[in-house]
Amino acid sequence: MESGTEAGNVGQIRDLIEHWAEAVRRKDIDGIRAHHAPDFVMFDVPPPLQFQGLDAYMATWPLFFGASPEPPVFDIVDLKITAGVDVAFAFALMRCVVVSGKDAGDLDFRLTICFRKIAGQWTFVHEHHSVPATD
């Protein structure tokens, strides 16, 4: 059974993720950027394999928005969170929609997010997107 602190941490992280996803749907760049570490690292589906630093991460959003309908679809389908005292992770099944290119249509993907508590605040430090491999 979760202690009050663990349950509180899980709730705080859930709120951060939900606010982040809402910011994506609003195309709110400041909202997307909020609560991310300056040395944030992302592994993404489109190349390159790795983006290092918050500026590199933020530079990926115009590509996403350019391939998305208006407003963007960015739905959390299933979210699980595990939180310790100062480190946490979450994984989710996600859904977005691509309106251009060879991958147009619904795109289901997997999301893993890692957090550290920095200066008393939960902070996004890593994000990993993936899709199942195909032939």
Looking at residue 82, which CATH number applies to its domain?
3.10.450.50
In a domain, 16, yes or no: yes
Strands 74-83 and 50-52: unpaired
- pLDDT (tens digit, 9 = 90+) per residue, 23-58? 999 999 999 999 999 999 999 988 888 999 999 999
Examine residue 81 and state whether it is found in any structural domain, yes or no: yes
Residues 100, 110: Cα–Cα separation, whole Å: 21
How far are the Cα atoms of 13, 54, 86 from residue 80, in angstroms, in the given order? 10, 24, 17
Nearest CA among 90, 78, 77, 97 for reference residue 25: 97
**68 within a domain of the structure (yes/no):** yes
Q: Which domain holds residue 100?
A: 4-130
Q: Among 18-22, 63-67, 108-112, where is mean pLDDT lowest?
A: 63-67
135 is a domain residue: no
Whether 108 is covered by a domain: the verdict is yes
**How many structural domains is the chain composed of?**
1
Q: Which residues face 36 on adjacent strands?
A: 124
Domain-located, residue 26: yes
pTM for the whole structure: 0.91
10 in a structural domain? yes
51 within a domain of the structure (yes/no): yes
Instruction: Quote the strand ranges of 99-132, DSSP E.
Output: 105-118, 121-130
pLDDT at residue 104 greater than cutoff 90:
no
